[in-house]
Amino acid sequence: MESSTSSAIVIEANEELHEPLIDLEGFLKGDEAATVNAVKLIREACTTHGLFQVINHGVDPDILNATEVGLYPFFNLPMSRKLSIHRKVDELRGYSNIAHADRFSDLSIFKEMINTLEYHFKGETDSEVADYFKNVVGDDFVETGWVFQKFCEAMRNLSMKIFKLLTIGLDFEDTFNCENFFEDGFAFLRSFYYPVCSDSSKTIGSTSPPPHCDPTSLTILHQGQISRLEVFSNEKWYYVKPQPGALVINIGDSLMALTNGIYKSCLHRHVAISDKNRISFAYFINPRKDKLVSPIEELITREGSKKYSDFKWEDFSYFTQRIDRVDTTTIERFMKFLALSDTNKWLLVSPKYI
């Protein structure tokens, strides 16, 4: 069921994506004209390539700065200590010295990754992420755990504001509200460390994972000022220029399905940087695991057809983690998978992931 991914070297993009950069200050203050403009820009971006950046987003700069430095001590630990919380094949959380290495063993190493515990929007505790750092990473990372707890809370609040703008952009606030759909959802945070890559040929063919669309609903990326994120649009690759204080927002497959294909899942890739270490954080937002993701009825009527079958996030997540891989056409293969009989589905489960 897996699609093949070429390991050929791909030339880096040399044109900047004008994604756009959206100032949320007016929207957050209730300014109607600013809200209309923000919605217009977001809709244009999400119906073309699925990515935009936001500034004046209401997230405390001190929290963002603290996340950038908080995990350097962990990634500088001896490998034996890091491997003590190694990510298992069938789990999202844990450390990996090759992100997704269990499914991309042919690719070269150029990043390390640590996943925090899932952060539930209506969780039973207000210290879920902090507890993970304390209990799993270690007592010497308690302070870091609270930094990331605050980071996750801030990202949750921002995501609800983004969902509000996305709903307005679909022009049916009275019949469907993205905020309500995701209010009992959850997120998981991935922290990536990219050490200096002396071999400049380690671009797309050697990245991990290869060019892909996120299977999740919405991603908020804190990339700092050292990044090489590239987006595919209009049949070519563009680089995303880091903006001071900005956060990158991109649409994922699940939100594309929910909007019946109106909002486009962002096809992107990450390229190795040759001369600097860097850390970035990706906050992936999902509906509640057992909630049905079904294209919105009004959009089906508006578009004239239902483009995606109904599914639950827990099934899509299982598909991407245990049966298939995340790449450029994951959602299409998942739709074909859903159409199979239960017997045929189980025949496709590779022993490698059981």
Active-site amino acid positions: 278
Please report, for the chain, how many H helices and E strands are present, in that order. Answer: 13, 15
Tokens 């500088």 correspond to what residue? 76
Q: Please provide the size of the chain in residues.
A: 354
What is the chain's mean pLDDT, rounded?
A: 84
Q: For the purposes of burial, counting CB atoms within 10 Å of the CB of 244, is it exposed (0-12), middle (13-18) or buried (19 or more)?
A: exposed
**Per-residue pLDDT, 340:** 86
Q: What is the pLDDT along the chain (354 residues), one digit of tens a residue?
A: 433 334 444 567 788 898 899 999 999 999 999 999 999 999 999 999 999 999 999 999 999 989 888 888 888 888 888 888 877 666 667 787 754 444 444 444 456 777 667 899 988 788 999 998 898 888 999 999 999 999 999 999 999 999 999 999 998 766 678 999 999 999 999 888 877 765 545 443 344 468 999 999 999 999 876 667 899 999 999 999 989 999 999 999 999 999 999 999 999 998 766 567 778 889 999 999 999 999 999 999 998 999 999 999 999 998 988 888 888 899 999 999 999 877 666 566 544 333
Angle of CA points 42, 44, 47, to nearest 5°: 100
**β-pair partners for 1:** none
Task: Provide the β-strand partners of residue 213.
Answer: 267
286/253 Cα distance (integer angstroms): 11
Q: What is the pLDDT of residue 95?
A: 81
- Per-residue model confidence (pLDDT) at position 272: 66
Sequential DSSP letters for 160-175: HHHHHHHHHHHT-TTT
Single-letter amino acid code for the residue at 80:
S
CA distances from 185 to 50, 101, 122, 287 (A): 21, 28, 8, 4
Dist CA 114 CA 95 (whole Å)? 4
CA–CA–CA angle 296, 297, 299 (5° rounding)? 70
Q: Are 353 and 89 in contact (CB under 8 A)?
A: yes
- With contact defined as beta carbons under 8 Å apart, do 264 and 234 qualify? no
Whole-angstrom CA distances from 231 to 66, 80, 263, 272 are: 27, 36, 15, 15
Structure token pair of residue 268: 């992107």
pLDDT (0 to 100) of residue 249 = 98
Looking at residue 94, what is its pLDDT? 77
Q: What is the DSSP string of 274-294?
A: SS--EEEEEEEEE--TTSEE-
CB count within 10 Å of CB 170 equals: 21
Q: Which H or E run includes 239?
A: strand 236-240
Q: How far, in Å, are 74, 90, 122 from residue 93 at the CA level?
A: 15, 9, 20
Record the pTM.
0.87
> What does the pLDDT read at residue 113?
74
